[in-house]
Structure 1
Amino acid sequence: MIIQPFKEGSKIYYADTCQSLVNAGERKKIKYNALSKFTYPGKRLPDDVTGLNSVGYWDGNGEQDWGLDWHRNEGIEIHFLERGNMPYSLKDCDLQLTANDMTISRPWQSHKVGNPHVGAGKMYWLILDVGVRKPHQEWTWPDWIVLTENDLNRLTVFLRQNEQPLFKGNTQIRNCFIKFGQLINSDIDGSNASKLRHTVNELLLLLLDLFDAGSVKLHPELTDSQRSVQLFINELQETAHDPWTTNEMALATGLGVTRFTEMFKEITNQTPIKYLTDLRLKLAKKCLKEQPDKTITEIAYFCGFTSGRYFSTLFKKNYHLTPNEYRRG
């Protein structure tokens, strides 16, 4: 069984294999162990812990030469640093983790560990799938989570309406992750499945207590459909050359075409196709100046236009110059 790749334009996101971590283990740079499903490394998790896709740790006590580059997970991922130091980044946020620091990332948040290399330390991870890929989608927890409906709703609100990346774990949270490590090490063919489920529930209760005790500020707008569209628009800067249609753009946000188009126009005051065309023209202007060896047709195709003639017509309509005239100017 595999996790289906998530496609967004020409970008295809696959479940992380953590190959650099595996290679570091094979080269004796670290000790690591994990219980996982799908392509994640480690011993195999049984089916009766549905939703728990991976839980594990690595321990490196010397200078490291590897890192986990930018990636996303199909669930919420929690990292906990038991000891040492660890560079950790989300988009627009670089952190230097120290002992007892804990990070939480959501499926739409790209993150990496290492800058570019990880530090010396013992780091735990846990990936729990809650059935979402975009901010506006409703979370569905695994059926073995035993928090009361009220507590689970409050925890969901804390995690959805707040995207603070870094928390300081207390002694109970630290002991919880140490327990994960012990269960991983002693597991034989899924023998600790019940204890793993119990420990995940314990961790979620501890997170709820941590949120209740702190001053976590909630932002309901983080769960709006508009936010999913805004995230897509931000990433469109890098994928404008892809063969997008309005239907494919809507699909990438998890919204219907009508709702997506309404939200897009509300944010940009343009239709998705008009906005995309403008991005492609801006990209073409840059290419015309920076890539003088490329023909007009080559630049047209590179920027996502279907023909050189169509591109030239649009370019002159928008800038009152032909592409060649702009290039010579």
Structure 2
Amino acid sequence: MTERSATTSPKFKAGESGMWYHEENPGPIASLPFINQFGSMKFSKVRMDENMRPHLNDGIEIHFIESGKYDWVIENRSVELLPDDLSITAPWHWNGSPAGKMDMGQINWLIIKPEAFSPGAPLQLGNWSKLSSGFQEELGNMIAAEKGMVLKKARVFKKYFAELKDELLHQREGYERIIANLIENLLIELYRDLKHRKLKIDEDDHFIEQLTSMVQHDLTKKWIVDDMASHFGMGKTKFTDEVKRLTGYPPNSFIINLKIEKAKAQILDPKGMDLSDIAYHCGFSSLQHFTTTFSHRTGITPGKYQSQSKKHESP
């Protein structure tokens, strides 16, 4: 069997080359019922294809980008797939090109058909897999929880697609077992990556929770970035970068947001203080400073915010 190309197969148009096995052209995956599709296509010019618009597939869909840039959408969220990026979606996650367009570049994809997997049923790959049921269930939970995900710079997965492509292309003796092993190893690699990602997210959440708690404990204190960084065992630059990465704001601006949120809560408290006292307890130097900052961050003065909230409370 030879690799499909634009010059050897009438099913491919000029500017396209590669391989694509699916229900209407199963080829070697006919003996691999746990694979719905496998494709490895290179495009030397833009191709319009309605089949590539956002869609659902009866399986776990994985894309790996070797070259080019693909504008994609996953569950109504726009994403940009770049070289070495890996996208993963569950059977109920819409994904595809919003314009039905395949840009210049090379893209690989694999659709694994599990025996069972739905929002209400744990992942069960089937008898072909030797992975434990616990492993499968946890992997399925991670895929489902993300509502479609993109792993950036996931070059480690490139080898799996290259080896799958080679086995499907040449179909040497025992290729079915080798392909099953390759897919299991790919899923183990994916599990490890997602597990590390979850741990990192948990660490990030804990960091912001600690920072928020520390600042809220004394909003009147004049917080110094160097001191806060030292508290977390970081240098000023790393601390600033981390806070900005996780909150979207540099430390001082993040602290102001915390002060504003506290002020809002006190303004809405029916037993609350007057605005001058709120300004003091939230760490503002004066009522004017409080009013100016509050207006800048919310688009409304504290007084108007207070009067509007009272109107909403009136019967």
TM-score, L = length of structure 1:
0.52
The aligned amino acid for 1:205 is: I
Number of the residue aligned with 1:144: 128
Equivalent residue letter for 1:30 = E
Residue 212 of structure 1 corresponds to which residue in structure 2? Answer: 195
Aligned 1:90-169 pairs, distance under 5 A: 90-113=74-97, 115-132=99-116, 134-169=118-153
Give the one of 64, 83, 94 matched to 2:67.
83
Unaligned runs of 5+ in 2: 1-8, 203-315
Residue type matched to 1:71 in 2?
H
Greater Cα radius of gyration, structure 1 or 2: 2
Give the CA deviation at 1:129: 1.6
Q: What is the one-letter code of the residue matched to 1:207?
A: L
Residues 208 and 138 of structure 1, relative CA distance in 2, 3 Å threshold = closer
Aligned to 1:54: 37
Whichever residue aligns with residue 111 of structure 1, its letter is N
Q: Letter of the aligned partner of 2:178 in structure 1?
A: K
Q: Secondary structure of the equivalent of 1:58?
A: strand
Report the AA paired with residue 69 of structure 1.
R
Closer/same/farther in 2, CA of residues 116 and 181 from structure 1, 3 Å limit = same
2:57 is aligned with 1:73 = yes
1:199 is matched with 182
**RMSD, aligned α-carbons:** 2.7
The correspondence of residues 128-277 of structure 1 with structure 2, limited to 5 A, is 128-132=112-116, 134-187=118-171, 192-215=175-198
Contact 2:75 2:147 in 1 (8 A): no
Q: 1:66–1:50: structure 2 CA closer, same or farther, 3 Å change rule?
A: closer
Q: What whole-Å deviation, never above 9, does each CA across 1:243-263 have from its counterpart, x for those lacking one?
A: xxxxxxxxxxxxxxxxxxxxx
Conserved 8 A contact 1:76-1:130? yes
Query: Is the CA contact (8 Å cut-off) linking 1:78 and 1:125 kept in structure 2?
Result: yes
Deviation at 1:206, TM superposition (A): 0.5
Is the alpha carbon distance of 1:27 and 1:171 closer, same or farther for their aligned partners in structure 2, counting shifts above 3 Å? closer
Matches of 2:55 and 2:120, distance apart in 1: 20
- How far apart are the structure 2 equivalents of 1:87 and 1:122? 14
- CA shift in 2, pair 1:134/1:202, >3 Å: closer
Structure 1 unpaired stretches of 5+: 1-22, 219-329
Paired positions, count: 192
* Whole-Å separation in 1 of the counterparts to 2:189 and 2:20: 22
How far 1:132 sits from its partner (Å)?
4.3
- Which residue pairs with 1:32 in the alignment? 18
CA shift at 1:66, angstroms?
3.2
User: 1: CA distance between counterparts of 2:55 and 2:85?
Assistant: 20
Question: CA contact under 8 A between 1:46 and 1:193: conserved in structure 2?
Answer: no
Q: Distance in 1 between matches of 2:102 and 2:110?
A: 18
Rounded Cα–Cα distance in structure 2 between residues aligned with 1:91 and 1:152: 23
Alignment partners' CA distance in 2, 1:32 and 1:114: 23
AA aligned opposite 2:16: I
CA contact (8 A) 1:35 1:184 kept: no
CA distance in 2, matches of 1:194, 1:35: 18
Q: Does the 8 A contact of 2:122 with 2:140 survive in 1?
A: no
Aligned-residue identity in percent: 16
1:91 and 1:24, CA in 2 relative to 1: closer, same or farther beyond 3 A? farther
Give the superposition deviation at 1:75. Answer: 0.9
Quickly say closer, same or farther: Cα 1:65–1:119, change in 2 above 3 A. Answer: same
| Change over 3 Å in CA distance of 1:169–1:145 after alignment to 2 | farther
Give the aligned residue type for 1:154: E
